Amino acid sequence: MTASLSQRQHVETILETLNRPGGQGEAAIIERSWRRCIDRYGLDPARPTPARYVPGATLREHQDQADDLLQVARAGVEQLYRQVAPLGYVVLLTDARGIAVQFLGAKADQREHQRTGLFLGADWSEAHAGTCAVGTCIQERTALTCHHSDHFSAHHIRLTCTAAPIFDPHGRLLAVLDISAYQSPATKDSQTFALQLVKYTAKMIEDAYFLQRYGDHAIVCLDRSREFVQINRRYLLAIEENGSLVAANTAGRKLLRHHELPLPEGGEARPFKAWNIQDLLDAQVDQVLAIPQHSDDRVQAFHTRRHREIHFATLIEPPRRPRGATTQARDTSLAPLEALADDDPSMRDTLTRAARLRNEPINILVMGETGTGKERMARALHESSRRHDHPFVAINCAAVPESLIESELFGHEAGSFTGARSQGMKGLIAQADGGTLFLDEIGDMPLQLQTRLLRVLAEQEVLPIGASRPIKVDLRVVAATHRDLRELIAAGRFREDLYYRLNGASLRLPPLRDRADKSYLIRQIFAELNRERGGRARLRGDAMSALLAYPWPGNIRELHNALRYALATGDGEEVVVGDLPEECLHGQLAHPGARRPTDEAGEGGASPPVTPRPLEQDLLYRALCRHQWNISAVARELGLSRPTIYRRMRRLGIVPPHLSTTV
């Protein structure tokens, strides 16, 4: 059968079906949508519906509005893509208006994706695209598969698309998650698993968004199964301290409807906020809030008040907000240490240890790869200790010339050696009296000075060069190293006795690549740099995604520099993915969903080109040089078509060296 014949038949089927009384179940959903297409939108099933893209700037607005969700959804969308990509599906996340704000699909088929509209910026609203999984899901507020000839437009009938809605904690539609493929078996049943998988992922994203939005509230998680309540968390209810409900996930809202008291004739359902947890569960608020989080009884059973059904409950308490009798005044002096990390397991252990050690009269050795924040840790230890009103004095033993380090550390008397200051100099050790002396790169300290330092630590007194009497000092030394001091000891380059003096306790910092709180660090550093610059730029979601996708080797300094660069190249208002340095962008381009969207969306002529930035020119130029101006190789590396590369070269004014005229 030729395509045009099947398309003609499709049009006839639609018209015939609409002349019959309505169908059942999902068939009814599709029929209702077909009716809307004709009656409300005035669409014609035989008329081609070319993919429509919103312009680049509009797409950015849609992405900005969906930014919170996009950040939470990223991991879920990527996991879904990994699951379905081998079967030929692409993944789209659209906003509530049907505009694709995230896309993951095979790069090799990019042209086809763009032609069909399975791409960033495409408009899948029903009013434009006709009956389709996304548009019809938005209208019907339900998950569905739009398989082959379910589509209204004859031009979409080779597609199979499955979509599920994502609602916000108040039941408003937030987004639609969709998977689509060009080839699939003829029967719609073949998509049953697809539908379950998309619904499951949409619920995961919805719940992750819920937990993030209401992270400052107590959240009651309920399930009918004791075994699954901690994993499934089927029903989520955010409550105030007095038990009144502030939000519920989709399943939670259904549970409330199920347990609503019978309504009087014509009566309205109780507004969501009028619920209290004790209206739902046969329990007092205090009992629910007392469910322990970290013991064997963290799952507790309750009857529901109305139907006497058993539900198992766990509680997620807001972080750092102690409640009731266990309330203790928060120790604000710990703030400098707490600010170093968010939710990284090894940092959490390190910080707990640091908090215990901060006022102990022992020296501390901080270990970790270069740029992992050892000096930050030393400062935070000092600032959170009782010594914080006294000086924090830092010296980098590797950076000061060997000839100066002795006088820098120990100071000297007037005229004690050639080049000494005429009035003498107080050394750094004496300057740190009462406070903290930070010895960075201690492994680089010359052996002879190690002996003198050992004496200072043992005697708590320092003898300046040329002085006859030592000066008493009260010191806490924090030393840092990225080297293995035991190896240096074995090689005879570090004194073992000094090692034990310095290593009263040790703290090890994990490399950036292993940290689970990268997004926290990114936000922290970005905010700091913003403050330094006196600016108020914001970091857009696509830049954050690229930074998170980049395989950071180990160094926070590198991240710091990347953000500094991005702020310098950005327009001052926001930092977008194109403002990031080349290395981060490479991690980004290897990742199909995180590409800067707008210029590629313009390939079909629907989106205007993005204003070129110097960085974009620089990136392309460097890629061209790397590949000796082989356009195919550059196109492959950047995941773009050859014509796109030529178009960009023209737009950015890049001329190959072997041509004297413009390309």
Ligand X SMILES: Nc1ncnc2c1ncn2[C@@H]1O[C@H](COP(=O)(O)OP(=O)(O)OP(=O)(O)O)[C@@H](O)[C@H]1O
**H or E stretch covering 236:** strand 235-239
Return the residue nearest ligand X (CB atom): 373
Contact residue for ligand X among 298, 376, 523, 613 (CB under 6 A)? 376
Contact residue for ligand X among 252, 371, 578, 593 (CB under 6 A)? 371
Rule CB under 6 A: is residue 506 a binding residue for ligand X?
A: no
Determine the interface stretch with ligand X among 30-38, 176-184, 534-542, 553-561 (rule: CB under 6 A): 553-561
Determine the interface stretch with ligand X among 194-202, 313-321, 521-529, 602-610 (rule: CB under 6 A): 521-529
Specify the residue, 370 or 506, whose C-beta has the smaller distance to ligand X.
Answer: 370
Q: Give residue 174's Cα distance to chain centre.
A: 19
The distance of closest approach from Cβ of residue 356 to ligand X in the complex, given in angstroms and rounded to an integer, is: 19
Reading the block at residue 514, the tokens are 């292993």
d(C-alpha 54, C-alpha 60), whole Å: 10
Rule CB under 6 A: is residue 431 a binding residue for ligand X?
A: no
Specify the residue, 204 or 378, whose C-beta has the smaller distance to ligand X.
Answer: 378
Choose among 601, 582, 590, 598: nearest CA to 636.
590
Distances (CA, A) of 334 to 327, 340, 380, 382: 17, 11, 9, 11
Kindly determine how many residues on this chain lie close enough to bind ligand X according to the rule CB under 6 A: 18
The distance of closest approach from Cβ of residue 401 to ligand X in the complex, given in angstroms and rounded to an integer, is: 18
Contact residue for ligand X among 76, 165, 373, 602 (CB under 6 A)? 373
The distance of closest approach from Cβ of residue 434 to ligand X in the complex, given in angstroms and rounded to an integer, is: 23
- The sign of the CA dihedral 40, 46, 51, 55 is negative
Contact residue for ligand X among 525, 543, 584, 634 (CB under 6 A)? 525
Q: Which residues contact 310 (CB under 8 A, 6 or more apart)?
A: 224, 301, 302, 303
The distance of closest approach from Cβ of residue 559 to ligand X in the complex, given in angstroms and rounded to an integer, is: 7
The distance of closest approach from Cβ of residue 561 to ligand X in the complex, given in angstroms and rounded to an integer, is: 8
Q: Is 276 left (phi over 0), alpha (psi -120 to 50) or beta?
A: beta
Determine the interface stretch with ligand X among 80-88, 446-454, 518-526, 577-585 (rule: CB under 6 A): 518-526
Rule CB under 6 A: is residue 518 a binding residue for ligand X?
A: no
The distance of closest approach from Cβ of residue 340 to ligand X in the complex, given in angstroms and rounded to an integer, is: 4
Q: Judge whether 132 and 151 are in contact, CB under 8 Å.
A: yes
Rg, Å, the chain Cα set? 32
Give the helix, strand, coil percentages of the chain, each rounded to 5.
50, 15, 35
Specify the residue, 474 or 484, whose C-beta has the smaller distance to ligand X.
Answer: 484
Helices first, then strands: H and E counts in the chain = 28, 21
The distance of closest approach from Cβ of residue 481 to ligand X in the complex, given in angstroms and rounded to an integer, is: 8
In this structure, are strands 476-481 and 364-367 parallel, antiparallel, or unpaired? parallel
Q: Is 625 left (phi over 0), alpha (psi -120 to 50) or beta?
A: alpha
Reading the block at residue 516, the tokens are 């689970």
Contact residue for ligand X among 521, 547, 634, 638 (CB under 6 A)? 521
**Which residue in this structure is represented by tokens 């413009």?**
662
Specify the residue, 462 or 480, whose C-beta has the smaller distance to ligand X.
Answer: 480
In this structure, are strands 574-575 and 476-481 parallel, antiparallel, or unpaired? unpaired
The distance of closest approach from Cβ of residue 514 to ligand X in the complex, given in angstroms and rounded to an integer, is: 14
The distance of closest approach from Cβ of residue 366 to ligand X in the complex, given in angstroms and rounded to an integer, is: 8
SS3 539: strand
Reading the block at residue 533, the tokens are 């610059």
Q: Judge whether 565 and 580 are in contact, CB under 8 Å.
A: yes
d(C-alpha 612, C-alpha 599), whole Å: 10
Determine the interface stretch with ligand X among 72-80, 99-107, 140-148, 371-379 (rule: CB under 6 A): 371-379
Contact residue for ligand X among 523, 557, 591, 613 (CB under 6 A)? 557
Question: Mask of contacts with ligand X, 330-369, x by CB under 6 A?
Answer: ----------x---------------------------x-
Reading the block at residue 554, the tokens are 């180990």
The distance of closest approach from Cβ of residue 506 to ligand X in the complex, given in angstroms and rounded to an integer, is: 14
Specify the residue, 226 or 376, whose C-beta has the smaller distance to ligand X.
Answer: 376
The distance of closest approach from Cβ of residue 499 to ligand X in the complex, given in angstroms and rounded to an integer, is: 18
**Which residue in this structure is represented by tokens 């763009």?**
114
Specify the residue, 444 or 579, whose C-beta has the smaller distance to ligand X.
Answer: 444
Q: Give residue 642's Cα distance to chain centre.
A: 32
d(C-alpha 536, C-alpha 2), whole Å: 59
Rule CB under 6 A: is residue 372 a binding residue for ligand X?
A: yes
Q: What residues between 52 and 111 interact with ligand X by CB under 6 A?
A: none
Rule CB under 6 A: is residue 440 a binding residue for ligand X?
A: yes
Rule CB under 6 A: is residue 479 a binding residue for ligand X?
A: no
Q: What residues between 581 and 640 interact with ligand X by CB under 6 A?
A: none
Rule CB under 6 A: is residue 482 a binding residue for ligand X?
A: yes
Rule CB under 6 A: is residue 476 a binding residue for ligand X?
A: no
The distance of closest approach from Cβ of residue 61 to ligand X in the complex, given in angstroms and rounded to an integer, is: 31
Choose among 164, 158, 60: nearest CA to 118.
158
CB count within 10 Å of CB 530 equals 17
Contact residue for ligand X among 524, 530, 641, 644 (CB under 6 A)? 524
Helices (H), 392-481: 402-410, 428-431, 447-459
Specify the residue, 175 or 547, whose C-beta has the smaller distance to ligand X.
Answer: 547
d(C-alpha 275, C-alpha 339), whole Å: 37
CB count within 10 Å of CB 272 equals 17
Contact residue for ligand X among 370, 416, 503, 530 (CB under 6 A)? 370
From first CA to last CA, the distance across the chain in angstroms is 46
Specify the residue, 230 or 352, whose C-beta has the smaller distance to ligand X.
Answer: 352
Choose among 149, 145, 102: nearest CA to 121.
102
Rule CB under 6 A: is residue 270 a binding residue for ligand X?
A: no
Q: Judge whether 519 and 548 are in contact, CB under 8 Å.
A: yes
Contact residue for ligand X among 240, 338, 375, 517 (CB under 6 A)? 375
Amino acid at 278: Q
Rule CB under 6 A: is residue 523 a binding residue for ligand X?
A: no
Specify the residue, 411 or 510, whose C-beta has the smaller distance to ligand X.
Answer: 510
Determine the interface stretch with ligand X among 274-282, 374-382, 464-472, 566-574 (rule: CB under 6 A): 374-382
The distance of closest approach from Cβ of residue 349 to ligand X in the complex, given in angstroms and rounded to an integer, is: 15
d(C-alpha 559, C-alpha 531), whole Å: 17
Specify the residue, 95 or 440, whose C-beta has the smaller distance to ligand X.
Answer: 440
Determine the interface stretch with ligand X among 80-88, 318-326, 494-502, 517-525 (rule: CB under 6 A): 517-525
**Which positions lie near ligand X, rule CB under 6 A?**
340, 368, 370-376, 440, 480, 482, 521, 524-525, 556-557, 560
